[in-house]
Amino acid sequence: MSDYINELNDSQRAAVLYNDGPSLVIAGAGSGKTRVLTYKIAYLLEQGYRPWNILALTFTNKAAREMKERIARQVGRDSASKLWMGTFHSMFLRILRTEADVLGFPRDFTVYDTADQKSLIRTLLKEMKLDEKTYKPGWVQSRISNAKNHLVTPAAYANSREAYEADQAARVPAVRDVYKKYWDRCRQSAAMDFDDLLLYTFLLFRDHPDVLEKYRAHFQYILVDEYQDTNLAQHAIVCQLGAEHSRVCVVGDDAQSIYSFRGADIDNILTFTKAWPGAKIFKLEQNYRSTQSIVGAANSLIEKNQRQIHKEVYSKKEKGDSLGVFKAYSDVEEGEIVGNKIQALHRREHHAWADFAILYRTNAQSRIFEEALRKRSVPYRIYGGLSFYQRKEIKDAVAYFRLTVNPHDEEALKRVINYPARGIGDTTVGRLLQAADAHSVSLWTVLCAPQAYELSLNKGILGKLQAFRTLIEECTVLASTQTAYEAGTEIIRRTGIIADICQDNSPENLSRQENIEELANGLSDFCTQRLEEGDTRTGLSDFLSEVSLLTDQDTDKDGDQDKVTLMTVHSAKGLEFRNVFVVGLEEGLFPSSMAGDSPRALEEERRLFYVAITRAEEHCFLSYAKSRIRFGKMEFCSPSRFLHDIDACYLDLPENDIPARSTAPTPSYRPRQQTFVPPASSRMKPVSRATSASKDTPAVQEGQLIEHERFGRGTVIRVEGAGENAKATIRFENVGEKQLLLRFARFKIV
């Protein structure tokens, strides 16, 4: 027996050596899944399988590359290079290019990306005289994609009563016609999109038995990684190819199935033994990554799910610390607590910055933690996304803010003059720029009076330019008379940004909505903090001055990787860190309000939390805030039910407080469609420039303990001044010393 086989534990070895029929390898978090797949392929090659007769399917090119490198070290680079190993799409593209003529395509057919798809759909909608406001291209594209992933052709879609009724209910009955035209136009253009690579492969094997037999004979062994993430089309093709010889091995973990929004179907792994009668199940239950406490906590959480394949994951590593639970008074204090803890561990235990990860449910949550780390000069990177103020929708909104404060800002003007689309195209902008350059004036100056600069524009274009000018002038008045929060939120609404990103509820648009909401929270934080500190400079120009300091950061240098990682839990799957902070554990945020009361959706949210916990090797910290600001309103939060799901023996709870499961209605953390109306709060009212001083400025004394809405608990160090000018210096437990103007300070005496 080869030496590498002896490196495996009993369960891993059994999974590698079994080749007598279909097998399902349930690989718990950190259990050595990649090693098993790698060694199984190496073992198959030793048993006489030729590399080109093995099909190994992964979900990412990175996973395929890493496995190939490992296999090359075991069996040599030549054999490894001849494996059919790669993503579903890349492997099926290879087959489709070979068999293209059977399907009526040339071998060099084009593959459309998402942008190409949307562009074609827009063209078709225009040709069919369908209103884009009703038939939103992104939504139509998503609908077509979903149909293809469920193996529904245009003809089947047109004959589907369920699809017809769904489209009728959504008032888009012509979707089936758009799908048919889109399908035909792709064929005319000799093009396939990503979803076609799956659908056409399925159709190729279904409608051409001779081709199917050819590839069944070719692929004598089929292996699939991350099987819990497969959709119906991928599952069906694996069944087509492996039906006769049944030499199929799939690896996955039902407890880490978190991609249903992309079409993944957990039933593919849960019902594997029904699709493959006689399939043998192997369970990899030893976790090599995490301490016993982390594994125990994760187990006690996931056992609350009903739909799962039971397994007993265990660790032989040290017991380790309990999972620390942090209770913050506000989202701001949560950021401070996490920042302080990271700094302390870095200093005390000499952990590198790269050993830390902050995991959150939505990208919008990064802002608070970015600011907390930046304040402490802690280097960080946003994994799988942009820093908050670099995201497109944020840059669009900030460009409007800049233009409002300074209409002569050419870059800002160019960015938003036709966003949202208002019929001012590149040609018109180009002519305005030429005129501005020729007369040495700003673009705005020419835009305000194009005829004065010898520009001949038709009446329609002149009207659109005038409407844009009026909009900016109205916003300029807002910026000069209101706080950054009041003016900023109104500008976002008036300019149509919020209407544009609320067109549909695709995952992409929901993320954009959350980011705009968080920008509003940032405006509110800015105004509140300045007023409490006695600084009346709360205008939009003042906010922009501060933001410019945040965004003017040096770009990352090659090799400078020692940074704290900030990412969503979805992005963290497959990664590991010594220290993990899972933040924002509140009802409506994690689990997401989108889960509602659906047991299936709540179980996926619980699996997502399981993934978050199991990323940690040594320390895992969980945090929640008692309150968050949404559109300037203080909202009170309940701890996530998932904290209650973890056995308390694995938790280091604040003040020995076991979070009680909330029975209150789950608050929504998503803006409602096209209703960007910041509500006033009974406790926190946005303060305008004209706000007069409170007559009942709270009286505090040195030594008193207070509880601030944003900064948490603190002790009054000294009090200065009297009446409206009274100030207090307060030492907060987590944010240090702050001097607050008492008439604006929001606290209570404990």
Least Cα distance to 178 among 103, 263, 113, 120 occurs for 120
Residue type, 321: D
Active-site residue, 143 included: no
Q: Is 748 exposed, middle or buried (0-12, 13-18, 19+ CB in 10 A)?
A: exposed
DSSP 63-77: HHHHHHHHHHHHH-H
In sequence order, the 6+-apart residues with CB closer than 8 A to the CB of 661 are: 641, 644
Active-site residue, 256 included: yes
Active-site residue, 663 included: no
Q: How far apart are CA 38 and CA 71, in angstroms?
A: 6
Active-site residue, 33 included: yes
DSSP-derived pairing of the beta strands 577-582 and 356-360: parallel
Q: Which position among 99, 196, 226, 514 bears the catalytic label?
A: 226
Residue type, 654: P
Q: Which position among 228, 256, 362, 445 bears the catalytic label?
A: 256
* Phi, psi for residue 448 in degrees, rounded to 5: -70, -25
Q: Which position among 13, 33, 148, 607 bears the catalytic label?
A: 33
Residue keyed to tokens 């040594």: 618
Q: Show the tokens assigned to 519.
A: 């920008």
User: At CA 699, angle to CA 694 and CA 704, rounded to 5?
Assistant: 140
Q: Which position among 195, 196, 225, 525 bears the catalytic label?
A: 225
Q: Which position among 34, 123, 153, 240 bears the catalytic label?
A: 34
Helix (H) or strand (E) holding 620: strand 616-625
Q: Is 19 exposed, middle or buried (0-12, 13-18, 19+ CB in 10 A)?
A: middle
Q: Which position among 68, 176, 216, 615 bears the catalytic label?
A: 615
Q: How far is CA 546 from the centre of its chain?
A: 26
Q: How far apart are CA 475 and CA 401, in angstroms?
A: 9
In terms of DSSP H, where are the helices of 567-711?
A: 569-572, 599-613, 641-645
Q: How far apart are CA 517 and CA 498, in angstroms?
A: 10
Q: How far apart are CA 484 and CA 682, in angstroms?
A: 20
Helix 232-242 vs helix 88-98: crossing angle, to nearest 10: 60
Q: How far is CA 679 from the centre of its chain?
A: 27
Active-site residue, 225 included: yes
Length of the chain: 750
In sequence order, the 6+-apart residues with CB closer than 8 A to the CB of 145 are: 193, 195, 263
Least Cα distance to 548 among 365, 401, 366 occurs for 401
Q: The dihedral of CA 168, 171, 173, 176: what is its sign?
A: negative
Helix 507-532 vs helix 540-551: crossing angle, to nearest 10: 110
Active-site residue, 410 included: no
Q: How far apart are CA 359 and CA 592, in angstroms?
A: 14
Radius of gyration of the chain (CA): 29
Residue type, 155: A
Q: Show the tokens assigned to 422.
A: 């208002």
Catalytic annotation, residues:
33-34, 225-226, 256, 615
